[in-house]
Amino acid sequence: MSDKRDYYEVLGVARDVDAGDLKRAYRRLAMELHPDRNPGDAVAEDRFKEASEAYQILSEPGKRANYDRFGHAGANAGFGGAGFRDVGDIFSTFSDIFGDVFGMAGGGRRASAHGADIETRVLITLAEASSGVTKEIQVLRNVACGTCGGSGAAPGSHPENCEHCGGRGQVMHSQGFLMISSTCPVCRGEGRVIRNPCTNCEGSGLDQAEDTLQLAIPAGVEDGSTLRLMGRGEAPPQGGRPGNLYVVLRVEPDERFERDGADLHTEVVVSFPQLALGDHVAVSTLDGETEIEIPAGTQPGETLALPGHGMPRLNGRGRGDVVAHIKLVVPDSLSPEEDGHLRAFAAAGGQRVNPGRSGFFRRKKKK
């Protein structure tokens, strides 16, 4: 809690501010930091949440008195403690403010109404995931109708409050001793009706458009990572906050590597003399081939690391390693000279080997 900023400081007001000036201060910050005006800006979203938390506490006399006396501990108002599940919950809680600011109040529609989220996928290579890349993507989505501005009403007219439900979107009727609320059959819960619908969108307030977006993909992303672009989803019918666009990243497999977080595992094929005597061999990395030393006496299956040649870490703390897995390959056939030298090596070590190449059992060769 000690890391939280003072709520009065967050809203830029004095400690003796009255309710009217407090609301005006929050309204000003809401206009500046609103997610629809700052799509994809995580800093603005965090400040928006912070200001909303501060306003919720200071706008309620009881919570404000506890906060003035005991600070954050007394208010018990972490972002979750303040009762907000997400940004949409803020819009719902302060619907009167956001309605006034963004022109979505009136009728039975809630200012927190927002469009559906949409999802798309982008394919990148492992090398692009390593370096980071900007991809151009096209997204087909519903947007506010350009003719009516999303209201659904023809230019020069506007939606009217539903007379049947009084703009509430709900009607009450009695059933015995109970009062039952149900969706208004005239406006279908919208709280308003359109007498003169827009000819372009036929009263829906929506039109389809293909957006071309430049998507900045950070270095180090993994297969299945998801990027969120706020406000780039579907626009809701007849005004409101657009949903979000979620971009799922698919990283193409690279036959040279198996990825494990920031580390890249690869296989290095060597011969028995190279393991026994030591050698320098080429190892693949994303930046090209580099040499690695195999110490004399290395065993098959051991691993050798090239530090810093793997994938970058998303937290910015360096890169992983390329891990070379040593694989011994036995030749399928030997020349007479190779056969003689190898038999001499076996004899020097007192090892027993097949006395000749022919025999009753023959190894089946691979086809």
Among 322, 285, 129, 309, smallest CA distance to 220 is for: 129
Percent of the chain past pLDDT 70, that is, above it, reads: 83
Expressed in angstroms, the distance from the first to the final Cα of the chain is: 69
Do 274 and 238 lie in one domain? The reply is no
- Provide the CA 226 distance to its chain's centre, in angstroms: 4
For the chain, the maximum distance between any two Cα atoms, rounded to a whole number of angstroms, is: 106
Is 166 part of a structural domain of the chain? no
> What is the rounded distance in angstroms from the CA atom of residue 363 to the CA atom of residue 346?
21
Do 288 and 339 lie in one domain? The reply is yes
Asked whether residue 83 carries a pLDDT value surpassing 80, the answer given is no
Percent of the chain past pLDDT 90, that is, above it, reads: 41
**Region 248-261: what's the mean pLDDT?**
95
Do 56 and 89 lie in one domain? The reply is yes
Domain of 71, in residue numbers: 7-102
Do 200 and 305 lie in one domain? The reply is no
Do 94 and 126 lie in one domain? The reply is no
Asked whether residue 56 carries a pLDDT value surpassing 60, the answer given is yes
Q: How many of the other CB atoms lie within 10 Å of CB of 356? A: 6
Contacts (Cβ under 8 Å, ≥6 apart) of 17: 8, 25, 58
CATH number at residue 289: 2.60.260.20
Do 68 and 46 lie in one domain? The reply is yes
> What is the rounded distance in angstroms from the CA atom of residue 130 to the CA atom of residue 257?
13
Give the pLDDT band of residue 95 (cuts 50, 70, 90).
low
265-299 pLDDT, tens digit per residue, is 999 999 999 999 999 999 999 999 999 999 999 99
CB distance 107 to 184 below 8 Å: no
Do 221 and 334 lie in one domain? The reply is no
Q: Calculate the average pLDDT of the chain.
A: 83
> What is the rounded distance in angstroms from the CA atom of residue 120 to the CA atom of residue 250?
11
Do 129 and 202 lie in one domain? The reply is yes
Do 321 and 214 lie in one domain? The reply is no
Do 45 and 69 lie in one domain? The reply is yes
Among 13, 90, 61, smallest CA distance to 82 is for: 90
> What is the rounded distance in angstroms from the CA atom of residue 267 to the CA atom of residue 159?
68
213-248 pLDDT, tens digit per residue, is 999 999 999 999 999 998 899 988 766 788 899 999
Is 262 part of a structural domain of the chain? yes
Do 245 and 278 lie in one domain? The reply is no
Q: How many domains does the chain have?
A: 3
CATH number at residue 52: 1.10.287.110
pLDDT of the residue at 35: 73
**Region 150-168: what's the mean pLDDT?**
85
Do 122 and 219 lie in one domain? The reply is yes
Give, in order, the Cα–Cα distances in Å from 301 to each of 232, 267, 268, 293, 304. Answer: 50, 10, 10, 15, 10
Of 52-61, 175-184, 255-264, the least confident = 175-184
**Region 125-151: what's the mean pLDDT?**
92
